[in-house]
Structure 1
Amino acid sequence: MRILCSILLCLGLSNSLLAAPWYPVAVQSDGESLNYQPLTKAAEAWRICVLLPHGKDRYWWGVAWGIDEEGTRQGVQLGIYEAGGYENPQVQLQQLQHCRRLEAQAYLIAAINTRDLCPEIAVLRSQGVPVIDLVNRLDCPDLSASSRVDFADMAQASLDYIHALGGDRPVSLGWLPGPEGAGWVMDAERSIEQAAASGGLTLHHAGYGPVDRASQAQLVRRLLRSQPRLDYLLGNAEAAGFAAQLVQTSGARYATQVLATYTTERIVEQIRDGFILAAPTDSPVLQARIAVDLAIRALEGKPHARLVSPRIEMLDQRRLPDFDISRLMPPTEHWMIRRELPR
């Protein structure tokens, strides 16, 4: 709680600011730049099932909060479920099946991996039930819509930032992507591998693992023991957060600058304090809000985009004070929201 409060104070934000209307907001909508405007209110209290991979960090707390806020504003009923981690695809499948038994009218799915839920989703879509792909990327045919940012673009934003610092100088990069098989990880790796293949970048892959502190700390320690003089380390938020602390407390043992592939409140704190160089943000709270609106539009047969993506913003010490933190995290008093879908 201390960390979140300090972030909000240092950025001059308050809960009243966080409660301000979130729209209109600049997005890419089916490839077109526009200001997204949601519906004023749903036509009825639709029952929507939300499936998230876990609730272990404030990234997903922010997603759940954004969903809950927009659901309340538009007057729909939500069931919000989290599977406990990327190592639990079977739990997420069981939660989807549970929502089917409860006859949910639409689904928002931040999938643990790209394909495991596709057979169940195919059944839902054959019955005309809207399914919105949220944040992580699904590779299922006939999804109703997607509210997500391409993590290939997120990784490219980090690479562009590194290139702007070093010009054409060859770079050694430590890479900690996250859980193997997750859509966002696969997308990020596409950019990293293309950059390595084009030359000028020596890539040191640290391996895959769940995005919890213990798993990522093990990978970071192993990487830095073998490559203590990396120019940069780029990793998921848990890996980058731990690596930044390790580098800061190691004296001169490690000589690497740390970036994260996405931003959480802990990453914001470490950017502010100079421990992490920079990170892009995909504005997960906005993705969540937009996903609710897309589901309602699909339920009501109203026009909607197939893919809506908030604008990626690269955050460093210079840019952080101007960033609207309510796009990234919930207010200080909000924790993870879990809720059974009302019958």
Structure 2
Amino acid sequence: MRTFCALLLSFLVVVPVRATEWFPLPVNIDGREASYRPLTAASKPWRICALLPHGMDRYWWGVAWGLDEESRRQGVHLGVYEAGGYQHAAMQKAQLARCIQLAADAYVIAAINTRGLCAELDELARRRVPVIDLVNRIECPGVTARSQVDFAEMARAALNYILEHSEGRPVRVGWLPGPQDAGWVLDAERGLAEASVEGRVVVVTGGYGPVDRSSQAVLVRRLLAREPQLDYILGNAEAAAFAGQLVRTGGQRYKAQVVSLYATERVLEAIADGTVLAAPTDSPVIQARVAVDLAVRALEGKGMPERVSPRIEVIDKRSLGRFDISHLMPPSGHWMIRQELPEQ
């Protein structure tokens, strides 16, 4: 099974993905299903600053790659900064200050928390500098447009998979979402709270923490030590991948089956080898590409929506081979992109 997954993850090396192949793409635009087509090219080499929470896994490698690919295709300059983790909000604020000092023309921001950059974004809004909210959700009035999937819908998609898999029997589900103040975590918890499960699901909270493997491993171990008879674990990608391995090696101590809240390379490997059942994907590479296009549209005064969302797909072992992996991660051999915004 590892061989199968290795072949799948190397697909983009065997069949290179050209920059123009990602569109037209079915998406949701301002609440309506539509086909997305970006601009052919920017009218000038605008300078765009992108801020990401971290670069520790191929989810954010994919975001950085998508940003870079679309910037190259449209002929604009790009700076990519990652803060090092959700615990480093001060670093992201400092990186934003650096881009403001460099007088970026527009900003694409995957924020560490929903309101941590509001003062700076208010000032950018007064100066009519475009800000595109990418992936994580910002609750500040200075946002121009959004390229993101509602993680409430991601959580509901994952929970619906659990309900179908459990064939209607009541289940106890361990919940390990990630960083407590991140917008996507708040949205995911809203989705769980709003889901109509009619008493079929009891959610057992396992705690919050950064989405690095060591932090999530501690939370998974604590949750299973306290609740060894959980039916399912639903968690962030690092929690899910670790939980799947722990359950497999735990013998008869645990019976939980694992579903991830979103997909990463590690989660796809776990789905392939059977330690994780499934994961919805929010197509982060596509969100990144769209964000660059929205920034250019805003700069050039061209028609643009308020929100663009790729369609959510649920990946399990049956659908894994049909999934377009270029929507989720960069080709094999591409690592995290970090680069300074060129000076004027």
CA distance in 2, matches of 1:157, 1:49: 32
Instruction: Give matches, 1:258-297, under 5 Å.
Output: 258-297=258-297
Paired position in structure 2 for 1:339? 339
Counterpart residue type for residue 64 of structure 2 = A
Count matched residues. Answer: 340
When normalised by structure 2's length, the TM-score is: 0.96
Counterpart residue type for residue 7 of structure 2 = L
Q: After superposition, what is the alpha-carbon deviation per residue over 1:163-204, rounded to whole angstroms, capped at 9, x for unaligned? A: 112233211000001001000000001122334885221111
Counterpart residue type for residue 11 of structure 2 = L
Shift of 1:8: 5.4
Distance 1:34 1:169, change over 3 A: same
SS in 1 for 2:111: coil
Q: Is the 8 A contact 1:8 1:14 kept in 2?
A: no
CA distance in 1, matches of 2:166, 2:253: 22
Q: Is the 8 A contact 2:154 2:312 kept in 1?
A: yes
When normalised by structure 1's length, the TM-score is: 0.96
Provide structure 1 residue ranges, at least 5 long, that are not aligned to the other structure. Answer: none
Counterpart residue type for residue 305 of structure 1 = P
The Cα RMSD (Å) is 1.5
Q: After superposition, what is the alpha-carbon deviation per residue over 1:280-337, rounded to whole angstroms, capped at 9, x for unaligned? A: 0000000000000000000000001100000000000111111100000001110000
Paired position in structure 2 for 1:18? 17
Q: After superposition, what is the alpha-carbon deviation per residue over 1:90-133, rounded to whole angstroms, capped at 9, x for unaligned? A: 10001001100000000000000000101100100110100000
Paired position in structure 2 for 1:150? 150
Q: Is the 8 A contact 2:118 2:142 kept in 1?
A: no
Distance 1:225 1:196, change over 3 A: farther
Shift of 1:13: 2.2
Q: Is the 8 A contact 2:177 2:235 kept in 1?
A: yes
Q: After superposition, what is the alpha-carbon deviation per residue over 1:142-183, rounded to whole angstroms, capped at 9, x for unaligned? A: 411000000000000011111112233211000001001000
Shift of 1:250: 1.1
Provide structure 2 residue ranges, at least 5 long, that are not aligned to the other structure. Answer: none
CA distance in 2, matches of 1:225, 1:303: 54
Shift of 1:84: 0.4
Instruction: Give matches, 1:162-311, under 5 Å.
Output: 162-195=162-195, 198-311=198-311
Counterpart residue type for residue 176 of structure 1 = L
SS in 2 for 1:49: strand
CA distance in 2, matches of 1:197, 1:10: 35
Paired position in structure 2 for 1:7? 5
Bigger CA drift: 9-18 or 200-209? Answer: 9-18
Q: Is the 8 A contact 1:196 1:202 kept in 2?
A: no
Paired position in structure 2 for 1:325? 325
SS in 2 for 1:54: coil
Paired position in structure 2 for 1:129? 129
CA distance in 1, matches of 2:108, 2:224: 38
